[in-house]
Amino acid sequence: MYIKEICNKTIMAGLIIFAASITSSVSGQAIGLVIAALAWILRMVVERRLEFKGIPLNFPILAITAAFVISAVVSTYPFYSLDRLDVMLRIIIYYVIINGIKDIKQVDRLVLILFVIAVVEGILGCSQYFLDTYPRPRGTLGGPHAFAGCLEVVFPIIFSYAFFGNASYQQKIILFIGTLIIFLAIIFSSTRGAWIGIYAAVIVMAILRDKRLLFVVLIATILVPLMFPEKIINRAKTIFIVSSDVGNVSRVYQWKGALEIIKDYPLLGTGPNTFQVFYFQKYIQPDMPEREGTYCHNIFLNTAAEQGLLGIAALLWLLTAGFLIGLKTFKATRDAKQINVLSLGLLGSLVTIVVHGMVDCLLLHEHGYLLWFVLGIMVVVQRESLKEHVD
């Protein structure tokens, strides 16, 4: 029992490190995951039981694993595929969260840490913008895409607490200020995929919570851009320019190449982590403006190209099942304010991951950790809501 208690505390310590690193350090995320995972495995060894049975999403996770393994085995470049194994190993954070978190208070602790660190990173990012430290703010994550990509997943959770939570007046002020700081940091990063992600998340959250907020979103869409510097406005305009913006043109050509790969390798794809090999060897478009890149800038096309219909079906199954878990919890907890607000925020986080994933492949990088974190917390929240209903 003593060893079990140590394992439980170590798991929580690892999750705290992980949560604190979500918007600040990819290495910290990995360290937190390793600590929590090793403690969880040791606890299973001590108790002589596996903690997988009956866990939601087991079947889509099994399908994703099977698609990866089969595609890697038949791949022309299996060693390239093995380099992508770390993406699959991140799934363990999902099981660690579900088996390591015992009550909603522990979830609240992780959310508080998320909020504090995200605000600190947001302040740093805003200062980098105004001091012109970098061409685009990057916080401590080393790049603007990673910086905005991680902040955007936290944003809907904080937004939900700020606008819909049952907090005191003083707490509301703090939440609103924190939400604004994170929002500004994402805007100043000039990461268009993150802009689209949080915009879509707010719309979905408004539809689910209060459709009258859509009017506020519409007014904000018109007025907010007028408050930002010309550089940001010009960057926003390029979202709709396909013919001359290099980033957009490159994406369109990559998507065309991916569709051609899917046509030639429909069932199992070319193998994980091989898109860049096949694309540059055979499928690159003649007028491609950029000759660099290792993925398709669309997680769905990238998955279909590398793992075929089996892989994309498994991914869509996972995302759909995860969204339905969050939606079911949200609808069932109208009277449980705290859980209802958190489940709404988590749904928004999942929306940002999916929408941003349509123009980038962060799921292979930063979002690879965050997706499993969000899904894990979703399942824990659902479990705790059922406990409260029974009680």
Concatenating the DSSP letter of every residue in 7-31 gives HHHHHHHHHHHHHHHTTT-HHHHHH
Radius of gyration of the chain (CA): 21
Find tokens 């878990």 and name the residue.
325
pTM: predicted TM-score of the whole model, two decimal places: 0.93
pLDDT of residue 289: 59
* Residue 157: closest CA among 15, 361, 339: 339
Per-residue pLDDT in tens (0 to 9) along the chain, 391 residues: 688 899 999 999 999 999 999 999 988 999 999 999 999 999 999 998 888 888 999 999 999 999 999 999 999 888 888 888 888 889 999 999 999 999 999 999 999 999 999 999 999 999 999 998 888 999 998 889 899 999 999 999 999 999 998 888 899 999 999 999 999 999 999 999 999 999 999 999 999 998 888 988 888 888 877 888 888 888 888 887 777 677 788 888 889 999 999 999 999 999 999 998 898 888 877 766 555 566 788 999 999 999 999 999 999 999 999 999 999 999 998 776 789 999 999 999 999 999 999 998 878 776 788 999 999 999 999 998 887 655 5
Q: What does the alpha-carbon distance between residue 168 and residue 308 come to, in Å, rounded to a whole number? A: 51
Contact between 357 and 367 under an 8 Å Cβ cutoff? The reply is: yes
pLDDT of residue 290: 58
Opening angle at CA 80, ends 350 and 360, nearest 5: 30
The DSSP secondary-structure symbol of 279 reads I
Answer positive or negative: Cα dihedral of 313, 315, 317, 320. Answer: negative
Q: What does the alpha-carbon distance between residue 35 and residue 17 come to, in Å, rounded to a whole number? A: 9
Structure-token pair, residue 223? 């007025």
Q: What does the alpha-carbon distance between residue 136 and residue 128 come to, in Å, rounded to a whole number? A: 8
Q: Compute CA 49 distance to the chain's CA centroid, rounded to the nearest angstrom.
A: 31
**CA distance to 92, 155, 340, per residue, from 377 (Å):** 13, 15, 13
pLDDT of residue 135: 85
pLDDT of residue 246: 73
**CA distance to 34, 128, 161, per residue, from 355 (Å):** 29, 27, 22
pLDDT of residue 294: 64
- Domain ranges in the chain are 55-243+293-390
Q: What does the alpha-carbon distance between residue 2 and residue 184 come to, in Å, rounded to a whole number? A: 47
